[in-house]
Structure 1
Amino acid sequence: GKKTRSGKGHAAPAQAAAGTENTNPPSAAELKAADFSGTYACTGQDALEGPYTGTVKLTRVDAHSTGNQGSYQFTLEVPGYGLYSGEAVSDGTMMAMHFALADQTTRDYGTGIARFIRTKQGKWMFNKFYYEPEFKGGNHGSELCVQQ
């Protein structure tokens, strides 16, 4: 068959989130060594509480990470709501997160799942969907977070 040069004649797929144009999936070597540790600026949309901003901090726990699977300490600080802490695990570019507000009287805790990609500037970013089974009878939302 006829060989074509990389990138010629192929349109880049449209991206759903603003600011994610021209991103490339991480290489196998990058994934194996992927460390998503860092501080992320987040904008969220909560089904019950509406729009919000927050700061996520991820810290890789090397003793419990192997290959492309990572273990992390997780915190999310949301002004006006408080500090949510928990843990997260990654497998490739997917990450599951458990989080809970320190004040448990609100039953404000849940689980999220996120997919990581690189921005044009080489920073990690993730889009997270979360579910809170007991907060005000049940809740969900999403966040877009960019590494600082």
Structure 2
Amino acid sequence: MKCLATLLMCLITTSVYALDLSGVYDCRGEDAHEGEYTGIVTMKLRKEHSKGADSSYDFQLEVPNYGIYKGHAAAHGMHAAMHFALPMENGEYGGKTGDFGTGIAEFKKGTDGRLMFRKFYFEPAFKGGNTGVEECVRR
């Protein structure tokens, strides 16, 4: 009976706390307007704004020849919503090009044990509206 109680407690504890999704990810993407691209995503856990299965992150995406998109992510377990924007010289985000958007991602462990995610994103103002998909693997 004691073993059963311990097992039950482990299962409850595991389901209440999320896996830390922090790290550096190598990405390949397909953008409806810009075509194929590569990038590097960096996510950093904000412990002070995370509790249980709900976690908050600083988010950054570096895309060669485009820039560094800054943003944040809100996750519940292995699913995350991500907001990103290309900062402009005047401090505005998205600026005249409207290069900002929101993505939704599902994380999972790959066959090699590394964490990975697939993100679909929508940019409502970029070139009249835009979508894309990224697949990223943690280093």
The TM-score bracket by the shorter chain reads 0.7 to 0.9
The amino acid across from 1:29 in the alignment is: T
Runs of 4 or more, structure 1, over 6 Å off, are: none
Contact 2:18 2:78 in 1 (8 A): no
TM-score relative to the length of structure 1: 0.79
Compared CA separation, residues 137 and 101, structure 1 to 2 (3 A): same
Q: Percent identity?
A: 51
Separation of aligned partners in 2, 1:28 and 1:145: 28
Which one has a larger percent helix, Structure 1 or Structure 2?
A: 2
Residues 23-60 of structure 1: CA deviation (Å, up to 9, x unaligned) = xxxx9727714100000000000000000000000000
Give the length in aligned residue pairs.
122
TM-score after normalising by structure 2: 0.84
- Is 40-49 or 103-112 further displaced after alignment? 103-112
Equivalent of 1:126, from 100, 117, 136? 117
The answer on 1:140 being equivalent to 2:131 is yes
Cα pair distance change 1:85/1:93, threshold 3 Å: same
RMSD: 1.5
Is 1:61 aligned with 2:52?
no
Q: Unpaired segments of 5 or more residues in structure 2?
A: 1-11, 89-94
Q: Give the partner amino acid of 2:22.
A: S
3-state SS, counterpart of residue 127 of structure 2: helix
Distance 1:28 1:50, change over 3 A: farther
Report the Cα distance in structure 1 between the residues aligned to 2:73 and 2:64, rounded to whole angstroms: 22
Local SS of the residue matching 2:113: coil
Runs (5+) with no aligned partner, structure 1: 1-26
